[in-house]
Amino acid sequence: MIRTGAAFLAALALLGASATARQSGSGPQASGPVAPAASPVATIQAAPGAPAATSWQHAGSDIPADPAWRTGTLPNGLRYAVRRNARPPGSISVRIRIDAGGLMEEEAEQGWAHLLEHMTFRGTATVPDGEGIRIWQRLGARFGADTNAFTSLRSTSYVLDLPRADAESYAQALRVMAEMMQSARIDAKLLATERQVVAAEGAQRRSPLARELQDASRALFLAGTRAGKRDIIGSPETLANATADRLRAFYKRWYRPERAVVVVVGDADPALLETEVQRAFSGWTADGKPPVEPDYGPSTTPAKPVLAVTDPQAANTDSLGWVARHDDAPVTIAEVQRQLVESVALGIVNRRFAAAEESGGALVDASAGLSRGRHVGDQLTVSLLPRPGQNRAALDQVFAILNALRATPPTEAEVEQGRAGLRRSAVDRVTLRTSVTSGGLANQFVADVDRGDVTADPRFYLETLKAFERAITPDAVNKVLVELLAPPPRLLRATTDPALAASAAADLAAARQAAAAKDVAVRAMSLSELPSPGVPGTVISRSRIDDLDIDRVRFANGVTLDFKKTGFERNTVRVSVRVGRGLLAQAPNDPGLFWTSGALGAAGFGPFTREELARLAAGRRVSFSIGSGLDGIGLATATSRGDLADTLRLMTGALTQMRYAEGPVARIRDGNAATYASLYSQPGSVLSAFGAPYLYGGDTRFRGVPPLAEIERLKLADVTRFWTGQLAQGPIRVSAVGDLDADALIAAVARTFGALPPRPDQPVDPAYTAVRPTPPPGGAAILHHRGAPDQASVARVFPVLGYRQEVQVGRALGLAAAIVQDRLTSEFRETEAGTYAPSASVSQIRDLPAYGTFVAGAQLKVDRIADFDRALARILADLAANGPDADALERARTTAIATIERARASDNGYWLGLVANSIDDPRDLEAVRTAIPGRKALTVADIRAAVTRYLTPGKSFAINVLPAAAQIAPARP
């Protein structure tokens, strides 16, 4: 897998970060009081008694290491870090980072680091091709989800999330990973196959337009650097140049122990974790002298600061960049302090952009972010989507905002809003530090290594912020923004209009002179302005599902509250509110305006605008999302115990006092219209946008994207009428899971949703849910894309039984899908090089009683469609005749059960979905209770019977997405 571009890391997220998009922030920690700093770059010294832990990762930094990590360096130079963590319980996460990515390649070697990543999975000195993945599957790790790898400019990283934390399983899994690093075979025949797989990956991930945009972006924003001349996927010529001998030499040159970092986090004794790392990797020796570090090149100003890409599928966007050289020196407390100021600055920029978006001007969307790239460069980026044909005016709006902030410091109220957000994030990081998953901790440590950052205790960030926040003043923010905006801006324009391409340079020059925008007055406000829904509701019943620890409360007005207390996330309560009957209450082939759900909340609600709501939320966890689904309008949040009551109050206000305005509706209309053509740039996006109705008997309620003509005629009055009706009727169901207080939760719901008057409701007509996947005329649907002329996407659809019809047969089909995907991967991908990522899955929808599909598909070359059909037909015929072999069944079953066990033991999201959807019907409850024993009971004969019954020739239909110019007869397995 490829990982490209600079990472935009969330503000104060997990353990160490850099300033980022719309919410940006900072890294590292030391506990204990610290002296206040006087300026944005003043150094804070750790107080006496602060943790004295050191680490190879912290060399040259004044930031103390987190003592929870046990770090070390083996005699061969390999560095490691391990720590205990019990979420999920009974599991271990392993990450291996090799300091070898696209930047280490010579001109003729482009794509080799990524190709080598693929080859390390194709066999080692003692592990045959494919056996490593099978070993991990037998231990419960799913290929792709729990086992994977990523190549970036700076590194190649390997991922394993092991559901078993016993010593034997850990040692076995780690041994395979160690061999991949030390003794990959790089067989010439397998390499020839894998080259084609890598090419297929490139075609699937990047359309011709995306490649053109990426090339232009590198040339413009990475000018002068080695990164600006490196393509991680490579080219057909450079990949063909990678013979087995040459790639083996590349492997020996860069895969060396001193260039490796092993990170292990899990529910086990750190001594065990450390001992096994030492045992697996101590024997790794490097061949020859270390390679010479490449010349990464300094960032320079390009000769032309403006580039334009004209293409019929372009999304009509502008991207601005202010580029500076990156300081590769170790991260210090002073740098953390600067990042805190940058975070507040970017938050202010983005909030002013959001206000401009709502003004009804030329700007549909704009966002600012800051990336810091070791060996690459630092870049302030502003991405904007103008209304059609209004690029010049949108650029003027952006520069008017930036020029105002450069000329005049922001208001104290704006800065305090940013400081409040930082405080909230820092406190949450400390509160939730024991709730982070092992995989999350391991990923963060590797990310810190990758960008030259350090990993410290979250309490350090909090103490640093406490000591420093008084120095985050309007003047300090202004100073940082002036510095970030000091380099000359560069502009990359993507457009369908040659005239807009030709005017790009003039548009930028004119926009830079835009007059500073005027400050918008900010009124004082309070949550008390939001009218109360009425007298608190009365509880009329309370019941409990004892074995699942789920409580149900019913209120007199018909509102239902279901909840489950867990300890997975400290001081976090996840809430889902489902309102009405949703799309299924619409008559067949009447999709309504559910696709405009982005208008909900975009103009605010009650007495508050969207910006005022953002200010009310500053420093608190009261934000929530609103969207629509098959079974209702959904409001969702992850709040704190202290903020729960006010969050529910705000949710109730949104439901009953929604505001609508022309600005948000125009943004939906113009934004969708501006990007519509880009949907055709890839076969996969065409399938996603336009293929869904074919899975539902042609019912257009289930479409992905409406026709362009419908988008263009969208009016405020239509949106207001539709959503006013949807929000005013139907049942309300509140579901909550997490670290909750039951009595406080019930009281909060009673004062909010429970206090509403009874709502009109009309049960869904059974005819509206009598949906089945039926073959289109001729047995195949043909769609067309306008991307690469040799690419296609195919889906083979087999109608199967509904969710509640025969649960055990549905489980058998689920395991069959896992087995089919595994075989498509090993046979059609790894042996025939037919595609990058074949898929097979079963979909059953609880609210559609007779609906179920088994879908197998892939993106591939047009001339390989028949090969895919033959491979799928061969696999299904074998399963129907013989069933899976015992090992294949056990691997599918073990990974499925491990996924359920981990979710039940650690995932509030899993339980929230169950509480919200699976406790009304006794059959659903029984399915939950028997999920694991039911899968354990499945046999080879059960899989064979399910395949024979549903997945045999003649029972499927096809959806093919072909190049616009091609007409190819569909084939069915």
The predicted model gives 770-783 an average pLDDT of: 93
- pLDDT value at residue 368: 98
Tokens of 659: 């505001």
The predicted model gives 211-215 an average pLDDT of: 95
Question: Residue 577: enclosing H or E segment and its boundaries?
Answer: strand 573-579
The predicted model gives 827-838 an average pLDDT of: 97
C-alpha closest to that of 810 among 841, 766, 787: 841
b/e per residue 49-73 (b: at least 16 CB within 10 A): ebbebebebbeebbbbbbebbbbee
C-alpha closest to that of 433 among 455, 457, 454: 457
- pLDDT value at residue 655: 97
C-alpha closest to that of 632 among 594, 689, 666: 594
Q: Please report, rounded to a whole number, the percentage of residues in the chain having pLDDT higher than 90.
A: 91
- pLDDT value at residue 359: 81
- pLDDT value at residue 416: 96
Cα→Cα distances 405→378, 409, 414, 518, Å: 20, 6, 12, 10
Tokens of 259: 């260039």
**3-state SS class at 238:** helix
What single string gives the DSSP state of each residue in 433-471? Answer: TTTS-HHHHHHHHHHHHHTT-----HHHHHHHHHHHGGG
Residue 697, Ramachandran bin (φ over 0: left; ψ between -120 and 50: alpha; else beta): left
Strand partners of residue 625:
636
How many alpha carbons lie under 13 Å from residue 109 in its C-beta half-sphere?
21
The fourth-level CATH superfamily of domain 772-963 is Metalloenzyme, LuxS/M16 peptidase-like (3.30.830.10)
Q: Exposed, middle or buried, 513 (CB in 10 Å: 0-12/13-18/19+)?
A: exposed
How many alpha carbons lie under 13 Å from residue 407 in its C-beta half-sphere?
13
**3-state SS class at 307:** strand
Tokens of 504: 């790009």
Q: Are 381 and 394 in contact (CB under 8 A)?
A: no
Q: Exposed, middle or buried, 743 (CB in 10 Å: 0-12/13-18/19+)?
A: exposed
Which residues of 362-496 form beta strands (DSSP E)?
A: 363-373, 377-386, 490-495
**How far is residue 506's CA from residue 501's CA, in Å, rounded to a whole number?**
10
- pLDDT value at residue 1: 56
**How far is residue 740's CA from residue 446's CA, in Å, rounded to a whole number?**
33
Q: Which amino acid is at 952?
A: T
The predicted model gives 354-376 an average pLDDT of: 92
The predicted model gives 336-356 an average pLDDT of: 96
Q: Are 79 and 260 in contact (CB under 8 A)?
A: yes
Q: Are 509 and 306 in contact (CB under 8 A)?
A: no
Q: Are 819 and 896 in contact (CB under 8 A)?
A: no
**3-state SS class at 191:** helix
Question: Residue 738: enclosing H or E segment and its boundaries?
Answer: strand 732-738
Q: Are 879 and 823 in contact (CB under 8 A)?
A: no
Handedness of CA 758, 759, 765, 769 (dihedral sign): negative
- pLDDT value at residue 966: 52
Give pLDDT tens digits for 789-811.
999 999 999 999 999 999 999 99
- pLDDT value at residue 953: 86
How many Å from the N-terminal Cα to the C-terminal Cα in the chain? 29
Mean pLDDT is lowest, of 33-42, 606-615, 885-894, for 33-42
- pLDDT value at residue 519: 76
Phi, psi of 333 (to 5 degrees): -60, -35
The fourth-level CATH superfamily of domain 77-281 is Metalloenzyme, LuxS/M16 peptidase-like (3.30.830.10)
Mean pLDDT is lowest, of 20-34, 189-203, 395-409, 594-608, for 20-34
Choose the CATH number for 529-768 among 3.20.20.150, 3.30.830.10, 3.40.50.10860, 3.30.300.210: 3.30.830.10
**How far is residue 388's CA from residue 364's CA, in Å, rounded to a whole number?**
9
**How far is residue 514's CA from residue 706's CA, in Å, rounded to a whole number?**
37
Give pLDDT tens digits for 738-774.
999 999 999 999 999 999 999 999 999 999 999 999 9
Strand partners of residue 633:
579, 628
Instruction: Tell me what the pLDDT averaged over the chain comes to.
Output: 92
Q: Is the pLDDT of residue 12 over 60?
A: no
Q: Is the pLDDT of residue 3 over 60?
A: no
The predicted model gives 941-952 an average pLDDT of: 98
Phi, psi of 70 (to 5 degrees): -105, 115
Q: Exposed, middle or buried, 309 (CB in 10 Å: 0-12/13-18/19+)?
A: middle
Tokens of 3: 């990982």
Q: Which amino acid is at 720?
A: T
How many alpha carbons lie under 13 Å from residue 415 in its C-beta half-sphere?
20
| 1-33+40-62+297-421+456-522 shares its CATH topology with 77-281 | yes
Pairwise pLDDT comparison (10 vs 682), residue with the higher score: 682
Question: Residue 501: enclosing H or E segment and its boundaries?
Answer: helix 498-502
Q: Is the pLDDT of residue 28 over 70?
A: no
Cα→Cα distances 739→129, 427, 544, 574, Å: 46, 16, 18, 9
Mean pLDDT is lowest, of 253-257, 650-654, 813-817, 966-970, for 966-970
What single string gives the DSSP state of each residue in 83-114? Answer: EE--SSTT-EEEEEEES-SGGG--GGGTTHHH
The predicted model gives 848-869 an average pLDDT of: 97
- pLDDT value at residue 15: 23
Cα→Cα distances 488→304, 306, 349, 491, 610, Å: 11, 11, 18, 10, 33
- pLDDT value at residue 360: 78
Domain 1-33+40-62+297-421+456-522 of CATH type 2.40.340.10: no
> Beta-carbon neighbour count of residue 967 at 10 Å?
8
The predicted model gives 615-644 an average pLDDT of: 96
What single string gives the DSSP state of each residue in 249-290? Answer: HHHHHH--GGGEEEEEEESS-HHHHHHHHHHHHTT----SSP
Q: Are 26 and 63 in contact (CB under 8 A)?
A: no
Q: Where are the domains of the chain?
A: 1-33+40-62+297-421+456-522, 77-281, 529-768, 772-963
**How far is residue 230's CA from residue 328's CA, in Å, rounded to a whole number?**
20
Q: Is the pLDDT of residue 4 over 70?
A: no
C-alpha closest to that of 379 among 521, 479, 485: 485
b/e per residue 318-337 (b: at least 16 CB within 10 A): bbbbbbeebeeebbbbbbbb
Q: Is the peptide bond before 48 cis (omega within 30 degrees of 0)?
A: no
The predicted model gives 401-427 an average pLDDT of: 96
- pLDDT value at residue 52: 40
Q: Is the pLDDT of residue 614 over 50?
A: yes
**How far is residue 231's CA from residue 151's CA, in Å, rounded to a whole number?**
11
H-helix segments, 728-848: 742-751, 807-823
Give pLDDT tens digits for 33-65.
223 333 333 333 343 343 445 799 999 999 999
**How far is residue 557's CA from residue 758's CA, in Å, rounded to a whole number?**
5
C-alpha closest to that of 316 among 368, 381, 383: 383
**How far is residue 760's CA from residue 431's CA, in Å, rounded to a whole number?**
42
Which residue do the tokens 């206040």 mark? 36
Give pLDDT tens digits for 95-147.
999 999 999 999 999 999 999 999 999 999 999 999 999 999 999 999 999 99
Give 923-931's long-range contacts (Cβ < 8 A, gap of 24+). Answer: 923/804, 923/807, 924/804, 924/846, 925/545, 925/548, 926/807, 927/804, 927/807, 928/548, 929/547, 929/548, 930/807, 931/900
Identify the band that residue 518 occupies on the pLDDT scale cut at 50, 70 and 90: confident
Tokens of 508: 């930028």
- pLDDT value at residue 82: 98
- pLDDT value at residue 11: 24
- pLDDT value at residue 523: 81
Give pLDDT tens digits for 459-488.
999 999 999 999 999 999 999 999 999 999
Which residues of 146-257 form beta strands (DSSP E)?
A: 147-151, 156-162
The predicted model gives 593-619 an average pLDDT of: 94
The predicted model gives 596-611 an average pLDDT of: 95
Q: CB-based contacts of 395: which residues, under 8 Å, 6+ apart?
A: 318, 384, 386, 507, 508, 510, 511, 514
The 8-class DSSP code of residue 826 comes to: I
